[in-house]
Structure 1
C-alpha cells in the first residue's frame, strides 16, 4: 500500500457495508483495514468475504472508538442504521478522519445541522466529508443536469418523481430498526426515496413550499409510512410531484422526469429514456452508459482527498435532501403546506411527525 492510499474502516457490516467494502476492495488507492460492528458474526462474515477475494484480512472492532484508537485508518465509511449516522461521523471527524456517510445523512435535522458545522470545521483542516448520493454520477443524470444548467430545456415548468417499490412484511421484520422512527427515520420516502429526492433537488433547485399526504397503506406493523405523495413549489417557479411507496406489489420502477418550454427528459431506473432539448421534437436520447453506482462516487471522494479539495456532494447537499423529506412528513402532520426554509432552519423541530402518518380512508 502506498503512503497516499486511504486506509478505510467500514462501520456497519450489513448489506450496505458489504457494498462499500466491495467497492473499496476493487480500488488501487484504498484498502479496507478495519471492520466495526457490534455483531461478531456480521464482521467476521465480511472479513472472510474480503479474505476470500484475495484482500488483506482487516482488523475487527466492536465499536468505532476502538477502531480509531487501535488502527491507523484515514477514512471512515458509516454504513449503520440511519439514526446513528451523524453521531458516528462526528466521532470520526473529531479524530481528523475523512468520512463517507451512507444515505440518508441522518434522520434528525438537529444532529444533521450539528454535523454540517463539524464538517465545515474539519474541511478547514483538510478533511473530506461526503454523503452517498451515487445517482448524481449516473451518466444519464449528468446529461440531464448539464442540459438544465445550459438552458437547453428552456424555462423549467414541472417535474415528476416516483419510487414505486414493494417491501414485504418479512423485509421490515428482518432488522429491528427497519420501519421505526428512531432508527429508520421514516419509511418509503426516507429510506427508499431519499436518492430520488436528491436528484429532484439537483435538477430543480431548492423547494419553497411543500404539501403532502403520508399513509400506511399495506404494512400495519411498522411505525412509518409506506406510501406518500407530495406537491412541491420550487424557487425557480416550477412545480413538482413526489411519490414514494413500498406498497406497490410486485415492485415497479423509479422514474424522474423534468419538463420545460424547450424540452425535457425522463430517467427510468437510473437510465435516460427520453431527451428533448433546444426546441426539438426529436428524441435525442442515446445510451449514456450504465449507472455510476458507489464506484463513481468513490472516484469523486478519493479524487477530492488526493487533490486537497472538497467532494462533489457535501453534507450540506444531504441536509437539503433530509429537510425536504422532513418537510413532507411535517406537511402531512399539519395537513397544510409548509415552507422549506422554516423546516431547514428548525422552526418545526418540535413537531411529532409520527402523528401525520395515517391509514387509508375507508
Structure 2
C-alpha cells in the first residue's frame, strides 16, 4: 500500500483526493494547508499547516502538490530532497527559466519520479485523435487549431490575488486555463519551429496577467497551427481542438470527437468520461493519470508525464509572450 499526501487544499485538491481514494493501492496518509480552517476537509486524516513538518513526520511515498504556481518549484524540490515522489498540478513552472530549473532538479534526483498533471492527454477523445493521427490512414497532418473561450469574473482574481500577479502566477489565460490546449497542439503538430503571438488584456481588472491571446505556430514538419484563448467571454464555452489531415478533418468539441464530413453530417466517434459533480472541463483524466503514475512508482517504470514533457508548453508560453513584446516571430 502506497502512502500519499496532498499539499494545498484549494479548488483542485478534491479531484486529487478523489483520484487517490479511487485507487485501492493508495492510502491518503496526510494533508497540508496553511489555513487551519481546512483541517476538517478530510476527516480522520492527519492535517498539517507546515509541509516541512509533514515531510519530516509522515512516512510518504508520494506527495500531490496543489499549490499556487510560485510554490511548485520550492515544494517539489523539498519533496525530492526527502526522496519522496511528486505528482504536481499544472503548470510545471512559472516560466521557461524555472522550467529549466525543474529539468535540472529531475536530472539530479533520478530516484524520485516527478509527474506533472496534464490530464487532458488522457481524455478518451484526445487519445483516439492521437491514434488517428499516428495511424496515418487519413494522411499527414496539415493543420491544428485550439480555441478556449472562457469567462473569469473580477473576483476570481480578488479572492485569490496571486492569480493576477506575474511573479506568483506566471501569467493569466495561457498558463492557468489554456495550457492543456497548448500541450495538446504540440503533441498533434510535432516539434515547433516558430511562434508569432499577441498577448492582450481586454478586461479592465487591474491585474498584471493577460486575459486574451492569439498565436500562429509553425511546426518543423510543415504543419500550421492556430491558437486563441480568452477569459473575457460570457461563460465557459466548450474547448475546441481541430486537426486537418490530408483526407479528413476531426474536431473535439463538447467533449466529443467528431469526424467532420463536407458532404454529410458529422460523425460522433467517442465521448469523454466525466467525474460526477466536477466542472465539465476537468474530465476524468485525473483518475487515469494518477493511476498510471502510481503504477509507475510500483513498477519503477517511466510511462508518465515527465518534467521534460511538461516543459514544452512552458516554452510555447514564453515564446508567445516574447513575440508579443517584440512584435516578431520567435524561433524555438
Structure 1 Cα separation of the partners of residues 289 and 264 of structure 2: 34
Q: Does 1:82 align with 2:78?
A: no
- Structure 2 residue corresponding to 1:167, chosen from 142, 152, 156: 152
Cα distance in 2 for residues equivalent to 1:218 and 1:71: 45
In the other structure, the counterpart of 1:314 is 306
Whether 2:255 is the aligned partner of 1:270: answer yes
How far apart are 1:21 and its partner, in Å? 1.4
**Structure 2 partner of 1:225:** 210
Change in 2 beyond 3 A, CA 1:112/1:77: same
1:109 counterpart = 2:96: yes
- Distance in 2 (CA, whole Å) between partners of 1:311 and 1:90 is 21
Shift in Å, 1:249: 1.1
Match of 2:19 in 1: 23
Q: Which residue is equivalent to 2:289?
A: 297
For the residue of structure 1 that corresponds to 2:194, the secondary structure is strand
Give the drift of 1:16: 1.1
Kindly report the root-mean-square deviation, in angstroms, between the aligned alpha carbons of the 2 structures.
1.9
Query: Deviation at 1:26?
Result: 2.3
SS in 2 for 1:252: coil
Query: What TM-score, normalized to structure 1?
Result: 0.85
With normalisation by structure 2, the TM-score equals: 0.92
Counterpart residue number, 1:201: 186
Q: Which moved more, 1:134-143 or 1:306-315?
A: 306-315
Q: C-alpha separation between the residues in 1 aligned to 2:126 and 2:182?
A: 13
Unaligned runs of 5+ in 2: 274-282
Give runs of ≥4 in structure 1 deviating > 6 Å.
none
SS in structure 2 at match of 1:80: coil
Classify 1:289/1:172 alpha carbon distance in 2 versus 1 (closer, same or farther; 3 Å): closer
- Identify the residue that residue 353 of structure 1 maps to in structure 2: none
Q: In terms of mean alpha carbon deviation, does 31-40 or 186-195 score higher? A: 31-40
Structure 2 partner of 1:176: 161
Which residue pairs with 1:286 in the alignment? Answer: 269
Q: How does 1:337-356 map to 2 (within 5 A)?
A: 337-340=329-332
| Residue-by-residue CA offset, 1:58-111 (whole Å, 9 max, x unaligned) | 222223211110111110111000121122111111111111110100113222
1 CA distance for matches of 2:324 and 2:254? 27
Q: What stretches of structure 1 of length at least 5 have no aligned partner?
A: 52-56, 341-362
